[in-house]
Amino acid sequence: MAEFVGGFGVPHTPLLWHLMDGEVPDDLVPVKAAFRRSRAQLEAARPDALVIVASDHFHQYHHGVMPAFAIGKADHIQGTHDNEERSFGLPAVEMPGHPRLAESILGREQLSGGFDFTFSNAPVLDHAYVVPLLYLRPDMDIPVVPIHTNTNAPPLPSAQRFVDLGHHIRAVIREHPERIRVAVIASGHMAYELGGPNQFSGRSTDPEFDAEAARWMGQSRLDAAVEACTFDRLTAAGNLTLQFLNFLTLAAIAGRPADEVAPVECRFGNEPFFTWEAS
Amino acid sequence: MSRGAIDIALYEIDQTNQTIEDFTTDPERFLAGFDLSDDERTAFLEWDYGTLYALGAHPFLLFQVVRSLAVGRGLSMPDLLRQYRETVTPHGTPDYIT
C-alpha cells in the first residue's frame, strides 16, 4: 500500500526560467518564493515517487497523434525538446522513472480503471513537467510517472473525466503493492491566453474565473468545477485556461480541500499555487 | 478544411534550427508534402500569419512559429508582440478545432 504524501499545483510558464534567473523582477519575486516554499514542502514530504499530471504542448504529442491521457512507463526519462532549449533556454534533463507505479496506474495485461490510456515507454517531457521539476526538485532524483493530458487540441476529455482520472489514481495509490510515499505535482494555468489577441496583456485574462477557481480548490468543490469548466467557459477565459483541468485531477487525488490556495498575481496573470500536505 | 495540416506544418517548422532554416530558405519545398488548401499554402509561402490565424491555426503553435521566425528576422520581442496583437485582433478568436 502506497501513501499520498502531498500535492502541488504549480505553474509551468517557461518564460519564468529566464526571467527568474539572476535579478528577479519585482512582480516575480513572490512567484520564486512560492516555488521555494513548495520545494521545501515537497522535500519534507520525503516522497519515493512523483506522479506529474501535465499537458504536453505539441512536443511528444501533436496533431499527428494526440492521446487523451498517456502514461509514461520507463526506467529513464528525458526532458526538454530542442525548440524549448532554443526558445526558453531550458536545460535538457534526465530523471529516473517509476515503471511499477506507472504500471499500477496504466494496467499490465489490460488497461486499468476504465481508462483507455495511451502509454509511452520513451516519454520525453516538455516544459509542463520540466519547469515544475527545475523549481521543486532540481536534482531530479525522485522516480517519476508522467501523465500527459490533452488540454490543448480539441476534442478534449471532459472536466468530469479529469476528476475521474484523479479518483482512479487515488485508488491506485491506496492499492499499489509497494509501501512507498507518493507525491503528486500538477501543472497548468488559471485564466491565461497564448497566441490570441489578449496574450501578454500583463494581467489575468479573467479575474472572475480565477477567483472561482481558487474557491473550487480551497473548498474541494469539484462538482461545481465540473459543471462550470466547459470548453466554452474555459476558452472564454483565455485559450490556455483549459490547462486548469489538470488541477481537477490533482484535487480529486487529494480528495479534500487544498491546505494552501495562494495564486500569485504577476505579469502572467495569476500563477497557480495549490498545496495539499500529507493527510 | 485542413486545419490539422496547418497545425502539423507549424509543428514541423518549429522542430529544430534546421527545420526553421529549411522553411525560411525554401518554403515551397518544405511544404510540398503537406495536405494544405491553396489559400493555406499561399499564406504559409507569404508568411501571412494573420490569414493562418483567421483560417483556424492553433494559436499556441502559430505564436511559437511566429516567434521562432521573428528571431531570425531581427524583430525585438516588444515589437513582435505589438505586431502580433495588431495582426490577429481583427480576426477575433476563430474556431481552431481540427
Interface contact B62-A195, CB threshold 8 A: yes
Domain of residue A260, CATH code:
3.40.830.10
- Band of pLDDT at residue A209, cut at 50, 70 and 90: very high
Task: ipTM value, please give it.
Answer: 0.95
Chain B partners within 8 Å of A150 (Cβ)? none
Is A197 a residue whose pLDDT tops 70?
yes
Share the mean pLDDT of chain A. 97
Give chain A positions within 8 Å (CB) of B84.
199
Cα separations in angstroms, A163 against A182, A225, A262: 18, 10, 21
The residue in chain B having the minimum alpha-carbon distance to the alpha carbon of residue A58 is B11
- Cα distance between the two ends of chain B: 9
Residues in A touching B92 (Cβ below 8 Å): 197
Give the integer Cα–Cα distance in Å for A270 and A79: 26
**Would you list which residues of chain B are within 8 Å, Cβ to Cβ, of chain A?**
4, 7-8, 11, 14-17, 58-64, 67-68, 81, 84-85, 88-89, 92-93, 96-98
Report how far apart, in Å, the C-alpha atoms of B94 and of each of B2, B45, B89, B90 are.
14, 21, 10, 10
pLDDT tens-digit map of A78-127: 999 999 999 999 999 999 999 999 999 999 999 998 999 999 999 999 99
Q: How far apart are CA A104 and CA A117, in angstroms?
A: 12
Can you name the CATH fold of B3-91? Protocatechuate 4,5-dioxygenase; Chain A (1.10.700)
Per-residue pLDDT of chain B (98 residues; tens, 9 = 90+): 589 999 999 999 999 999 999 999 999 999 999 999 999 999 999 999 999 999 999 999 999 999 999 987 888 889 999 999 999 999 999 999 99
Number of domains in chain A: 1
Going from N- to C-terminal start, the domains of chain B cover 3-91
Q: Give the tens place of pLDDT for each residue, A33-46.
A: 999 999 999 999 99
The answer to whether A185 and A51 are in contact (CB under 8 A) is yes
